[in-house]
Structure 1
Amino acid sequence: MPRLSRRARLNAWLAHPARVVVTGFAVAVAVSTALLMLPAAAEDGTRTGFVDALFTATSAVCVTGLTAVDTPTHWSAFGELVILGSIQVGGLGTMSLATLIALAVARRISLRMRLVAQAETKHAGPSDLRRMLTAIAGTALAVEAATATVLAARFAAGYDVAPGRAVYLGVFHAVSAFNNAGFALFSDNLMGFVADPWICLPIAAAVIIGGIGFPVLLEVRRVLGGTRAWSTHARITLGGTAVLIAGGTLLVTALEWSNPGTLGPLPGPAKLLAGFFHGVMPRTAGFNSLDMAAMQPDTLMVTNILMFVGGGSAGTAGGVKITTAAILLLGVWNEIRGHRDVTIARRRIPEAVYRQALAVVALGLSLVSCAVIVLLSVTPYALSQVLFEAVSAFGTVGLSTGITYDLPPVAELVLTLLMFTGRLGPLTLGAALALRMRTRRYDLPEERPIIG
């Protein structure tokens, strides 16, 4: 057998979309790490250690927001711009690559399944690639520009920030919000603006829009224009988003209402604003206007669930995604009712999709469990703190109870790996499972093990 040339081997490696995703993000993390290790990237002009630089770079590219060092005091303006660029590349890269994978999946499956996939993703085929990527970038920049304008005006008018600095703060936090990153240029994140709706609401809106996913955003525009009805994917995503935001807001507000460390000292309107803000952020932005370390254990558990589920597919949010969790819950509900098929809104969900959802959730639970075991063995922190940190890393959220700065290098590396696999794992696994679908031309003998 003749040996393949280096170019041929590279083309063969990149033939699978999952490999393209992993390679692209790994290169972005490597470049960002190298830039953050430069003395010019640090405020004091010294070289940042490899582990801290790698952790920050991975957190930025994977739009997580966990930080091993204090962002506004440790990094110089150059370092902050590196982080900002990494967030933008990671966010747009996730949206673009996820949509490209949808196209790749559509080309590798049967004609009927291709038509279904194209209808669900709202992309006609590879010929629309340039238009699609332009629309993704245009949508991101439009939302970021609008958010930055409101934030800059508020920083300048409400906090006497110099115009140039106000614009910089507005742009940084707008990009961080739309890409669901959670990086902030204040040492207490956004706790100083807990009662300011002109800061909290624009950031929350950008987080929600970015986390819904580009296919749904495009469909919203088309439906509002009267050109088509809602698809099943859009119904699940929008309905799930509304339920999770409303449920998260209600639970956080109720559980923390009298907590003297969080909502207790605030007036009523500020309590409602902060409750809403923290109902949105776990999906999966990572900004916080309250002290996470002071929250009740039950509130942290609710936040864990929201972080694990995450946002919409082909968006900037992390987690296992709303559609994955919804399909899995629908499958359980239909199994309890004795129904053979998984259905929603008078549509039947293919069995293969249900199996993919089960595999993605199982992968997520396995990764988080393994990380928690390792973190417990190398740190002195309690299970609740370690679990919160691990779920936040896997869901690419960025919320923390305050232990990140004090973690040993081994724990930082564990969270770095968890952020990387958390961002790419559900996406690449879903693509791999869809692309590996095969039709078996025979059936094996059936046998039913005892369940339960």
Structure 2
Amino acid sequence: MPPELRAAKAKVTRDRKESAIRRALTHPVRSVPLAFLAVILLGAGTLTLPMARTVEDPDIWMDALFTSVSAVCVTGLVTVDTATFWTPFGQAVILALIQLGGFGIMTLATLLALLVRKSIGLKGQLVAQSETHTLNLGDVRSVLLRVAKIMLSIEAATAVLLTGRFWIAYDASPGTAVWHGVFHAVSAFNNAGFGLFSDNLIGFAEDPWIIVPICAAIIAGGLGFPVIIQLVRGDQKMKNWSVHLRLTIYGTLGLLVLGIGLFAAFEWNRAGTLGPLSFTGKLLGSLAGGVFPRTAGFNSIDYGAAAPETLMVTDILMFIGGGSAGTAGGIKITTFLVLGFSIWNEVRGRDEVTIAHRSISASSQRQALSVALLGVAAVVSGTLLLLMVTDYSLEKVLFESISAFATVGVSTGITYNLPPAAEWVLMALMFTGRIGTVTVASALALSSHPRLYRLPEERPIIG
């Protein structure tokens, strides 16, 4: 076969593979929610088995469905006590659902983000952000393998630290220590917030060997796979950092400092939270107060006793969330900062939005605005519905709505006592917040069709 014909045939084969992958990934609004819904129903069905629970429950389907939604959407809100209601088998099912949900979100968001940039080759394209317009099965396989490798490595390292601490300091048997270590490591990296203790992590509020590793795993999972892989590859020179990396790293550091500082300021001497703790305990509590609301869902203090100012700051941190293509929820740091830079440049009278000597496209700004406003609409709608079906105050209901939408899982304690109608609202918020932000953002980017003409311009009065 002549070389020209062989090359042409190879190109046709590559084009067919690329077309097949694009068809599979460019319809996330239909395929992704259905896939996650199937896993949720399978998990709920498994949790209804007698071997999965310790007590008889006439509303087992509702509790099982709520728990499955919360686990797959890596949220952490629960209607029953995970430590006592579910058997070890049931807890293992929850752990599997958390891992599936976290892995699915990371791989899906990464593939869609790269597809939007038309750059799925990881070795050069992901790090250098070069537009090679390549897309093939090998690249997708590389994405999946790298995500799995990074996820399992961080979870394993966290599990080893936690297992050692549970074994040495809390007289747990080797088997129990390993199980607690693995469960909380997976839950932390996936920003799920499920715990195997009835008071979550309140009993470990002054133990740095528990709180610090969990916080580190939460931050790592919330950075997102593109950021982790770029840091792992050693691109530590800031001049080589992409705009996405800069926004995620600086945004994460800024929100952590702000969250920790404000939490300490509002709760340092408060009797129901940090007040009774030692100085070290207050520092650890402040660290947890700044990290856990970043969609993790753990709690080392009782948020039902927290100051209104603390709840407001937590609302903001929860809604913003973590990094894109990671296990964190919320509207994402990049979305928030792109909108912030857009406002800043508008105030300065600049037509072009620039970040780190790079111009941000108008389509990216519109996508950020759409995701943020749709998030606001979801939270407002959920809050209104919860107010209609419950007797709780606006402060607590808003906190619960944002926690569900941002897939955080922190609660002021009202989740256990909500009526079924309110549970359906929270499940809808969790599902929308976990799947919606990814699919909507990618769908907006992939469905853009530039016009070949321009209509006459008119300027309505703004403000």
Q: TM-score range by the shorter chain?
A: over 0.9
The structural deviation recorded for 1:445 is: 1.1
- 1:398 is aligned to 409
- The answer to whether the 8 A contact 2:193-2:408 is kept is yes
* Counterparts of 1:387 and 1:154, CA distance in 2: 36
Q: For residues 343-354 of structure 1, what are the structure 2 equivalents within 5 Å?
A: 343-354=354-365
The structural deviation recorded for 1:175 is: 0.3
Q: Equivalent of 1:361, from 364, 372, 381?
A: 372
Paired residues in the alignment total 437
Q: Which amino acid aligns with 1:119?
A: Q
Matched residue of 2:55: which SS?
coil
The structural deviation recorded for 1:101 is: 1.1
* Counterparts of 2:457 and 2:33, CA distance in 1: 38
1:18 aligns with 2:19: no
* Counterparts of 1:167 and 1:187, CA distance in 2: 18
Q: Which amino acid aligns with 1:347?
A: R
* Counterparts of 2:317 and 2:66, CA distance in 1: 23
For residues 86 and 120 of structure 1, do their structure 2 counterparts lie closer, same or farther at Cα, with a shift above 3 Å needed? farther
- 1:288 is aligned to 299
RMSD over aligned Cα atoms? 2.2
- The answer to whether the 8 A contact 2:318-2:406 is kept is yes
* Counterparts of 2:158 and 2:132, CA distance in 1: 26
For residues 156 and 123 of structure 1, do their structure 2 counterparts lie closer, same or farther at Cα, with a shift above 3 Å needed? farther
In structure 2, runs of 5+ residues without a counterpart are 1-21
- The answer to whether the 8 A contact 1:64-1:397 is kept is yes
TM normalised by structure 2 equals 0.91
Q: For residues 250-269 of structure 1, what are the structure 2 equivalents within 5 Å?
A: 250-269=261-280
- 2:452 is aligned to 441
- 2:129 is aligned to 119
For residues 117 and 198 of structure 1, do their structure 2 counterparts lie closer, same or farther at Cα, with a shift above 3 Å needed? closer
The structural deviation recorded for 1:53 is: 1.2
Q: 316-325 vs 118-127, which deviates more?
A: 118-127
For residues 255 and 123 of structure 1, do their structure 2 counterparts lie closer, same or farther at Cα, with a shift above 3 Å needed? farther
Q: For residues 207-286 of structure 1, what are the structure 2 equivalents within 5 Å?
A: 207-224=218-235, 229-286=240-297
- 1:428 is aligned to 439
Q: Which amino acid aligns with 2:233?
A: R
* Counterparts of 2:132 and 2:391, CA distance in 1: 49
In structure 1, runs of 5+ residues without a counterpart are 1-10, 110-114
- 1:417 is aligned to 428
Matched residue of 2:354: which SS?
strand
Matched residue of 1:174: which SS?
helix
* Counterparts of 1:303 and 1:389, CA distance in 2: 11
Q: Equivalent of 1:158, from 169, 186, 206?
A: 169
- 2:42 is aligned to 31
* Counterparts of 2:94 and 2:145, CA distance in 1: 23
CA deviations 1:109-132 (Å, max 9, x no partner) are: 9xxxxx899818999643321122
CA deviations 1:149-202 (Å, max 9, x no partner) are: 110100010010111000000000000000000000001000000000000000
Q: Which amino acid aligns with 1:173?
A: H
- Percentage identity across aligned positions? 54
* Counterparts of 1:57 and 1:336, CA distance in 2: 46
1:78 aligns with 2:89: yes
* Counterparts of 1:243 and 1:123, CA distance in 2: 34
- The answer to whether the 8 A contact 2:189-2:218 is kept is yes
Matched residue of 1:223: which SS?
coil
TM normalised by structure 1 equals 0.93
